[in-house]
Amino acid sequence: MRPAWAINNLTDEVLRTSAQYGVKDIIVYAGPGARTIPGTNQPLDKPRAEYIDYLAMRRRVESYGLRLVGCEGGFSLNPKYRDVVLGGPRRDELIEQLIAEIRDMARAGVPIWGYQWMPNSVWRTPPAVIRGGAFATAFDYEWARGQPNTHDREYTDEEVWAALEYWIKAVTPVAEEEGIRLGIHPDDPPVPRLGGIPRVLRSFDAYKRLMDIYPSDCNAIEFCQGTFSEMNEDIYEMVRYFAERKKVLYVHFRNVSSQVPSFREEFINTGYVDMVRALRVYRDAGYDGVFMDDHCPILDGDVEFPGNLGGYRSRLFAQGYIQGALDAVKSEPKQAARRASPARSAGQRRMGVGIGQGGGPTPDFLRFAAQLGAENIVLNQPSIPVRNGRWELADLVNLRSVVESYGLKLAAIENTPITMRDHIIWGGPRRDEQIENMMHTIRNIARAGIPIYSYSWKYPRIYRTGHVDIRAGAMGTAFDAELARQWPDIEGAGISEEEAWGHLEYWVRAVTPVAEEEGIRLAIHPNDPPVLTLCGVPQLFRSFDAYKRLIELDPSDANGILFCQGTVAEMAGEDVYEMVRYFGQRRKIAYVHFRNVSGQVPKFHEESINTGYVDMVKAMRIYHEVGFDGFFMDDHVPRTVNDTEYGHRARAFANGYIQALLDAVQGR
């Protein structure tokens, strides 16, 4: 089972994006009846597309290291072919034209063609507002049933079935001969009729009838799970039935709120269908094809995607979810489809998802977080004033109120400005003054209702020596200790390791009782990169033993860890899974930076969330097993084609991936 995308215009941007995010299988909106050159948005200036056009399309896909797995297009929407769909006098002539193009497709290397039998198209009523103010399509049969006829008269179910049967019996032998599989998309929405035209492919029994017309591997289904979910049927049973019979060519993997007579489309993981459970059914039934995102919501600030509904951010969120769910489900034993998730102790909270911003928060960021469903907000050095070396309560309360006005939670603040704590770190003459101001600040953070203050025991810079191409031109940061040795010393250089530990112990013993009193958790981020020294300064939090030493300084629950899994994975010779288990069991992990890397110190580079050496599914299962109930946030996402400076597309993908793993290990 593999992820896929459906594209109508094979631009450089979308093909590079596909390669960079691991979407190697491509379906192109093209095929008999289409009015554009296959794989482009250019009008077709001849009666139909030919062999050379489909060959050029396939070669363009393959030139980016991708695979063409099929074409999808509905000739039934083209008025020219009305007689085929409704049984008119030119039917035989038009079927011959369509068969000629099907032969050309097959001979050009197109293995699948998905099409539909809806002469008056997909119907929707006014859109719905869903999570975070995103927009999605909706349907209400009460509104639609009063609409006028779209064609010359009312047609009966049996008239449309007769036309469909005639077509299937004519075209399936040709498909068998040419080695191309054909499959029909269900009628969307699956109601009895719209605009005077019956929607015959609207039920489980209808598809059984369709398969019985001509029992062949080449008479199959373009399995739009979204539309099947809209039917008044058991979606899991339909998946199992048709997948076991090898009738599912590929899957439109989308979700809806409910079944007909009314529904709205949803984010991939917010509809009524448990998508992880569905994947398990496909797997257990022996399905080995592709899953494509489909009809994605409209997000604020998104850029149009050259395919179906939804822009790049929305499609990448869905892709991240699909890839995460596939990674989780494919790594399970098959009986997991019928096995409950591992039990959690009574009253234990679920693991959640978060997202962060440096400075801010800005309205655009908060809308983005709300629409992605990343309910826990982390602000790194938020944009509030420093007054006499402190953050004051009124400013922090206002900060929390702004976040909550978007339906979100301000779950943590990461770091104050370094000027509020630099003497604490290296033992400068203003250490006690800064500690007093930081204790005042921590009290105010707690009293403002913000439960975590996390910080780094270093200057606020992530040290890297360059970038590397991690996949198809996507760039990740890199570190090479040999190159870093050339960097000049910084303030605080020259102190010994034990002096540095002394400064840390002085701080921990002073501030932890304040945190306990106020009910706030303090959490230290590991040194990144986790090397012995950098720019002349000891990097204390570079190992498993260093964190054990930290929690031994004060065993309080208020003295914890911001578990940057990426940095932990960089630590030389350490076992990231064992560290998750050890600190998770002791409830020392406040929250997690859930990122991936290749290699460890002295040389590593950052990766996409699912391409580094860490098995993220295995890691997530361990967090679950040890009872972790905090949240996971994306971190250090790669630079990909035409993304923003903040990395909206890459963060959408990573958030989708995280949410899929959460659904897989703890259930919905």
Mean pLDDT, to the nearest integer, of 453-463?
A: 81
pLDDT given at position 347: 57
Q: How far is CA 612 from the centre of its chain?
A: 17
CB 476 within 8 A of CB 518: no
User: Full-prediction pTM beyond 0.85?
Assistant: yes
Predicted confidence (pLDDT) per residue in 319-376, tens digit: 999 999 999 999 998 764 444 444 455 555 799 999 999 998 999 999 999 999 999 9
Question: Cα torsion for 603, 328, 243, 237, to the nearest 10°?
Answer: -160
Would you call 578 exposed, middle or buried from its count of C-beta atoms within 10 A (0-12, 13-18, 19+)? exposed
Mean pLDDT, to the nearest integer, of 443-449?
A: 98
Looking at domain 352-666, its CATH architecture is Alpha-Beta Barrel (3.20)
pLDDT given at position 493: 78
SS3 7: strand
CB 259 within 8 A of CB 223: no
| Whether the predicted pLDDT of 579 surpasses 70 | yes
H helices of 296-430, in order, are 312-330, 363-372, 393-404, 422-426
Which token pair is 364?
């655009």
The rounded distance, in Å, linking the Cα atoms of 280 and 414 is 38
| Whether the predicted pLDDT of 48 surpasses 80 | yes
pLDDT given at position 461: 66
Predicted confidence (pLDDT) per residue in 504-516, tens digit: 999 999 999 999 9
pLDDT given at position 186: 97
Predicted confidence (pLDDT) per residue in 529-546, tens digit: 999 999 888 999 999 999
pLDDT given at position 52: 97
For the chain, the straight-line distance linking the first and the last C-alpha, in angstroms and rounded, comes to: 22
Could you tell me the pLDDT band of residue 459, with boundaries at 50, 70 and 90?
A: low
Residue among 70, 67, 78, 164 nearest 113 (CA) = 70
The rounded distance, in Å, linking the Cα atoms of 433 and 439 is 10
Q: Residue by residue, what is the 3-state secondary structure of 88-133?
A: CCCHHHHHHHHHHHHHHHHHCCCCEEEEECCCCCCCCEEEEECHHH
**Helix/strand number for the chain, H first, E second:** 22, 27
Mean pLDDT, to the nearest integer, of 93-97?
A: 97
CB 487 within 8 A of CB 535: yes
Residue intervals of the chain classified under CATH 3.20.20.150 are 2-295, 352-666
Which token pair is 413?
């603040």
Cis ω on the peptide bond leading into residue 602 (within 30° of 0)? yes
| Whether the predicted pLDDT of 460 surpasses 60 | no
pLDDT given at position 463: 86
Indicate the CATH number of 2-295 among 3.10.20.30, 3.60.20.10, 3.90.320.10, 3.20.20.150. 3.20.20.150
Of 202-211, 295-304, 332-341, 489-498, give the lowest mean pLDDT range: 332-341
The rounded distance, in Å, linking the Cα atoms of 493 and 458 is 11
Predicted confidence (pLDDT) per residue in 243-269, tens digit: 999 999 999 999 999 999 999 999 999
| Whether the predicted pLDDT of 23 surpasses 50 | yes
Which token pair is 353?
């998802």
The rounded distance, in Å, linking the Cα atoms of 632 and 635 is 10
Percent of the chain with pLDDT over 70: 97
pLDDT given at position 319: 98
| Whether the predicted pLDDT of 588 surpasses 60 | yes
Mean pLDDT, to the nearest integer, of 192-217?
A: 97
The rounded distance, in Å, linking the Cα atoms of 511 and 523 is 12
| Whether the predicted pLDDT of 239 surpasses 60 | yes
Mean pLDDT, to the nearest integer, of 448-460?
A: 89
Which token pair is 39?
């794989």
Residue holding tokens 């951010």?
313
